[in-house]
Chains A and B, each alone.
Chain A
Amino acid sequence: MGRYIVRRLLQMIPVFIGATLLIFLMVNVMGDPVAGLCGDRACDPATAAQLKREFGLDMPVWQQYVTYMGNLFTGDFGTAFNGEPVIDLMASAFPVTIRLTVVAILFEIVVGITLGVLTGTRRGKPVDTVVLVLTLIVISVPVFVTGLVLQLLFGVEWHWVEPSVSAEANFGELILPGLVLASVSLAYVTRLTRTSIAENRRSDYVRTAVAKGLPRRRVVTRHLLRNSLIPVVTFIGTDIGALMGGAIVTERIFNIHGVGYQLYQGIVRQNTQTVVGFVTVLVLVFLVANLIVDLLYAVLDPRIRYA
């Protein structure tokens, strides 16, 4: 197990370098970022040249990348154009997005899996049909529509919640945005669990458990669910990274100042340091989440062993 983890961690290094290099090149292709700093006019050439020198933009791209990576290993993520260290931006943005992601994942786990078990064990019954139709609707409607409609209903029409999230972004405020963010994945989790449960219900070990005279509840939770969760865990695990990086739309609608907001602003202002920094961290989150998923397999299914 330990050797397996070490191997996986070592594999992350080339993935990490490749990913950051790609992002770095992509951001650089967009052109000279200094040109956008002076509003609807040209920057005066002396100041522009000075800014370029300061941000290292006058060096060739490969040299910029090497310098950047060098700094990265000393924990220096560079400085954004408004003079703020990127690490400070991260310190303010990541806690917010992590909270939002946690709310979304909780929705996926609690609601998604519950609905999945409910429908999986009652296939063809009315409840199954209703949930299936509902998930179909959720999957087919784009997130920004869901978000805006819910914001209008809960925030403006019924006054149940504030339409936007305050700067503190407490858990209570994040429930609605979290639900919106989770909605599509939640529908997938439901469907995935349902199929998996329905399949495993016919398997030998379930029949054995039932024949042993175990209570229905125990059969479902201990035997059926645990074996059916493997594809679901894979999905949720990879979804963590996707949710954190893909919250741009949700964060915009609800005015949440998290990772999506910083990334959006970084891209619009062509702020290389911000974009590369945030995406680098997201790549790391993705890799670690994947590793944890793989390790969880062994927990869920005793037949899987890593060496």
Chain B
Amino acid sequence: MRGITCARWVAVAAAVVLGATGCGGGGNGGGGGGGAVLTASWGDPQNPLEPANTNEVQGGKVLDMIFRGLKKYNPKTAAAENMLAQSIDSDDSQNFTIKVKSGWTFSNGEKITAASFVDAWNYGASLKNNQKNAYFFGYIDGYDKVHPDSGAQTAETLSGLKVVDDLTFTVRLNQKFSGFPDTLGYAAFAPLPRSFFTDHAAWLKKPVGNGPYTIESYTRGAQMYLKKWDGYPGADKARNGGVTLTVYTDNNTAYTDLLAGNLDLVDDIPAAQLKNVKSDLGNRYINTPAGIIQTIAFPFYDKAWNQPGSEKVRTGLSKAINRKQITETIFLGTRTPATDWTSPVLGTAGGYKAGLCGTACDYDPAQAKKLIEEGGGIPGGQVKITYNADTGSHKEWVDAVCNSINNALDNDKACVGNPVGTFADFRNQIGQEKLTGPFRAGWQMDYPLIQDFLQPLYYTGASSNDGKWSNKEFDTLVNRANAEGDPAKANALFQQAEGVLRDNMAAIPLWYQNGSAGYSQRLSDVELNPFSVPVYNEIKVSG
């Protein structure tokens, strides 16, 4: 071993290099026939790509491309329109008869029947399948048997679902819910082919659906190439040859890639780049409302925040926040000050009512100070707003909100931010009711219904009622609204329920969040849907 020289050392290193090259490589997502392919930014989906198991935007993007359900939400108006549904009828808002259009198939050629839906929903609801969206099936009769809160499940399938014939099935709900048909555009209600059940592992490697795209290749954690499905029977065919989704760890890199012409579409403009985005992209930057509202929630399980007069303190805090200034200076117009508890994407027809919050959401420092004093002052003398510091630049706005409150109350120590290291830990502390002060709450709608902005968040014992707020009047109004068959009347009742939220200031509405995206010169007709996901099938690619 004594004679080794520098030259040999290098030779050894070179051999290692060559060896390592051999390990690399993989599928190449190149272009196919029938129109040009665009490249778009993506994030690694947190869960396996099953429809009833995907609860975040990144996995949702893919499902949006490869699945079509009974209903589809209009990308512009957010209205639920029939897609695979021929008709959804009900006399009593509780028993529904659903007819499926004939002529639809999955991209593997399999016919879509009533059973494709019923089997998929039964799979999604069943506790043993660990589907994180299982609660979406909670309105269907028999859910408590297949998905009990504790203990083992006593049934395999939902008793409320019955296949009548090849293309018809019936749904029985466990309560009246007139908005139920409009929830069916959510990805969790998508139909599934037989191969999903017979060869689950293979299906997960390369999911098969019935949407305008088919998955051509999928390298987990890195890239997915979706090709236009030429045989797609729907009206919303893809107007491009395909989409290559590339995973980016850091959206700053994606933005840099867009500027360098290495990427066509970025659907999340990093906060640090908002200042330059207009000069960088000009009119190739879009900033449109999305169904997301940010609020500050309160711990109603804590006596200090839940006693007579507390509502004055909460309203006072709401009036001490200068929403306009914060959205303009920190978010540079990518957020809009909130004046109700829903979202403008619903439209007035969908129940959105601008200004419903009234003066309780207006910035008025003098009045704020007075209200808080009348209400007995801030519990413990200081508001601690808890937030997770790992994502979403929450620190900036929490500090700004506190600053605004401190200025209004002439007290430097009236409000401080309380950062929690990770999102999981943040959720943990909320779940275990450890927080003794207000905390950040964000809500992204599951389906564009006013009900989705109110019931899951403020109904007694609801799944996302993290502050444990409870109010009989509110609950009654929501129940009445759900039983109401006429959408206009139902919306009026929901708005009345919102009035209860306002009078008690159950949560402080802060602002509506916009979706933002930037694209290259090759693309045209780029839009974001109300879920802030690009409408990929409408995008045209030149060259």
Interface residues, chain A, with chain B CB atoms under 8 Å away: 30-47, 49-51, 54, 81-84, 88-89, 92, 95-96, 98-99, 102, 105-106, 109-110, 151-152, 155-156, 159, 162-164, 166-171, 221-222, 225-226, 251-255, 257, 261-262, 264-265, 268-270, 298-299, 302
Contact = CB atoms under 8 A, between A and B. Distances in A.
B249 A252 contact: yes
A151 B4 CA distance: 38
A159 B21 CA distance: 25
B262 A164 contact: yes
B221 A92 contact: yes
Contact of B20 (A98, A221, A255): A98
Interface in B193-234: 204, 219-223
Contact of B248 (A34, A40, A171, A255): A255
Contacts of A37: 46-47, 132, 424
A251 B4 CA distance: 34
A47 B131 contact: yes
Interface stretch (B61-69, B252-260, B329-337): B252-260
Given A32-B424, A41-B464, A45-B150, A99 B256 contact: no
B24 interface: yes
A81 B45 CA distance: 10
Interface string B140-151: 000000011110
Interface in B30-49: 44-48
Given A38-B55, A40-B441, A253-B250, 16 more contacts: A31-B425, A32-B424, A35-B424, A35-B428, A37-B46, A42-B430, A42-B431, A45-B149, A46-B147, A47-B147, A82-B46, A92-B222, A102-B20, A162-B260, A255-B246, A255-B257
Contacts of A99: 17, 20-21, 24
B55 A49 contact: no
B102 to A, nearest CB: 35
B338 interface: no
A169 B6 CA distance: 29
B46 A269 contact: yes
B109 interface: no
A81 B268 CA distance: 24
Nearest to A155: B260
A171 B22 CA distance: 11
A164 B256 contact: yes
Nearest to B444: A40
Contacts of A31: 422, 424-425, 428
B134 interface: yes
B427 interface: yes
B44 A265 contact: yes
B220 A253 contact: no
A31 B424 CA distance: 8
Contact of B13 (A44, A106, A170, A226): A106
Given A47-B130, A252-B253, A159 B1 contact: no
Nearest to A45: B149
B253 A163 contact: yes
Contacts of B1: 298-299
Contacts of A221: 5-6
Chain B residues touching A, range: 35 or more
A50 B127 contact: yes
A156 B463 CA distance: 47
B406 to A, nearest CB: 27
A190 B531 CA distance: 53
Interface of B: 1-2, 4-6, 9-10, 13, 16-17, 20-21, 23-26, 28, 44-48, 55-56, 127-128, 130-132, 134-135, 147-150, 204, 219-223, 246-250, 253-254, 256-257, 259-260, 262-263, 390-391, 421-425, 427-428, 430-431, 441-444, 456, 463-464, 466
B128 A38 contact: no
Contact of B256 (A156, A169, A226, A299): A156
A105 B250 CA distance: 25
B6 A225 contact: yes
The interface centre, meaning the residue of A39, A261, A269 with most chain B CB atoms within 10 A of its CB, is: A39
Given A47-B132, A168-B24, A269-B46, A252 B250 contact: yes
Nearest to B456: A41
B220 A269 contact: no
Nearest to A270: B424
Contact of B443 (A30, A36, A40, A95): A40
A37 to B, nearest CB: 7
Contacts of A45: 149-150
10 contacts: A30-B422, A30-B424, A40-B442, A81-B47, A82-B45, A92-B220, A99-B24, A167-B222, A257-B249, A270-B422
A31 to B, nearest CB: 5
Given A167-B26, A167-B223, A251-B249, A102 B13 contact: yes
A84 B221 CA distance: 10
Nearest to A1: B1
Given A163-B257, A164-B256, A255-B248, A44 B423 contact: no
A265 B427 CA distance: 18
A296 to B, nearest CB: 9
A151 B256 CA distance: 9
Contacts of A255: 246-250, 253-254, 257
A44 B17 contact: no
B79 to A, nearest CB: 25
Contact of A84 (B134, B220, B247, B421): B220
A105 B13 CA distance: 9
B150 to A, nearest CB: 7
Contacts of B26: 167-168
A167 B262 contact: no
A39 B55 contact: yes
B434 to A, nearest CB: 11
B443 A33 contact: no
A164 B127 contact: no
A105 B20 CA distance: 14
A35 B17 CA distance: 43
B135 to A, nearest CB: 5
B13 A168 contact: no
B255 to A, nearest CB: 10
A171 B23 CA distance: 12
A35 B47 contact: no
A268 B427 CA distance: 13
B520 to A, nearest CB: 13
A221 B135 CA distance: 72
Nearest to A300: B4
Contacts of B47: 37, 81-83
Contacts of B127: 46-47, 50
A155 B132 CA distance: 41
Contacts of B44: 82, 265
B88 to A, nearest CB: 26
A41 B463 contact: yes
A271 B34 CA distance: 41
B262 A95 contact: no
A100 to B, nearest CB: 10
The 6 closest A-B pairs by CB, nearest first: A36-B424, A35-B427, A167-B222, A41-B464, A95-B23, A83-B48
A49 B149 CA distance: 9
B249 A261 contact: yes
A163 B135 contact: no
Contacts of B256: 151-152, 155-156, 163-164
The interface centre, meaning the residue of B17, B55, B220, B222 with most chain A CB atoms within 10 A of its CB, is: B222
